[in-house]
Amino acid sequence: MAMERSRSSFRACIIADERRQAETLSSELASRGVSCLIAPDGELSAERVAERTPDVVLVAMNGMWHGPGARYLARANSEPSHPPVIALVSVEILDSIDPAAPIDDFVIKPWDAAEVAFRVKRTVRRKNGVGKEETIRCGDLTIDLARCEVFVGGRLVTLTFKEFELLKFLAGNRGRVFTRDALLNEIWGHDYYGGDRTVDVHIRRLRSKIEDSTHSFIDTVRNIGYKFRESGPSGKTSHA
């Protein structure tokens, strides 16, 4: 099994028609361990990508399905050895995306640099065969860590990025009590300026999606914070 790489060893190539936007994203990713090359032209990008041999290509597309990003995808579609692609797209063009396009993952605009960095690293791990089958199970709750998917009783539950990260962290440390400040620092980071009320709001939203009259996974510890139950209502908790 491939080992996790060091924090600064992830390489990405950004293809975008807005240079300033790409430079901002590049700077934000650099502080999160992802170094970037910016290639503004789709045709030229294919050559520069081959020269740089990045782990991932970030294709930013605004508005309609055209421009440098689309040109790169058309080129990559004919080259099976191209690096994995993460599309950075606006919600308006989702319906126009060709299902056959060589896209491995995508982030909806306005994108969060922390989420983009997470998806870059996850894509590299999957490419290198790390954590492909890893799941967390708690009764009827299944968290697929490789695909970032959550199921309750076999039903797919749609979570936001922060909700997923919060659930994954709590479920991965089940039985342990975390204060709101601890969760805030772990999920949002030490430089986040929002109050601990943010944690309460996300816990409430998370519960509304994964809990019902027959499923309860997260306990509130009065005057302290939250914990994930040792075992689910439907049986044994396991980490496979």
Least confident piece of the model among 69-78, 170-179, 218-227: 69-78
pLDDT above 70 (res 232): no
Which residue did the predictor score with more confidence, 224 or 196?
224
Lowest mean pLDDT across 76-80, 143-147, 175-179: 76-80
Which residues, listed in sequence order, are joined to residue 36 by a DSSP beta bridge?
12
149 neighbors 156 (Cβ within 8 angstroms) = yes
Angle at 16 between CA 15 and CA 22, to 5 degrees: 100
- State which fold the 10-127 domain adopts: Rossmann fold (3.40.50)
pLDDT of residue 131: 47
Per-residue H/E/C for the chain = CCCCCCCCCEEEEEECCCHHHHHHHHHHHHCCCEEEEECCCHHHHHHHHHHHCCCEEEEEECCCCCCHHHHHHHHHCCCCCCCCEEEEECHHHHHHCCCCCCCCEEEECCCCHHHHHHHHHHHHHHHCCCCCCCEEEECCEEEECCCCEEEECCEEECCCHHHHHHHHHHHHCCCCCEEHHHHHHHHHCCCCCCCCHHHHHHHHHHHHHHCECCECCEEEECCCEEEECCCECCECEEEC
Confidence of residue 81 (pLDDT cuts 50, 70, 90): low
Which CATH number is 135-239 given? 1.10.10.10
Pairing of strands 237-239, 135-138: antiparallel
Report the pLDDT value the prediction gives residue 237, as an integer from 0 to 100.
42
Q: Is the pLDDT reported for residue 112 higher than 80? A: yes
pLDDT at position 4 is: 39
Dihedrals phi, psi of 156, to nearest 5 degrees? -70, 130
120-139 pLDDT, tens digit each: 888 887 766 544 457 888 88
pLDDT at residue number 95: 74
Domain chopping of the chain, boundaries: 10-127, 135-239
Amino acid present at 152: V
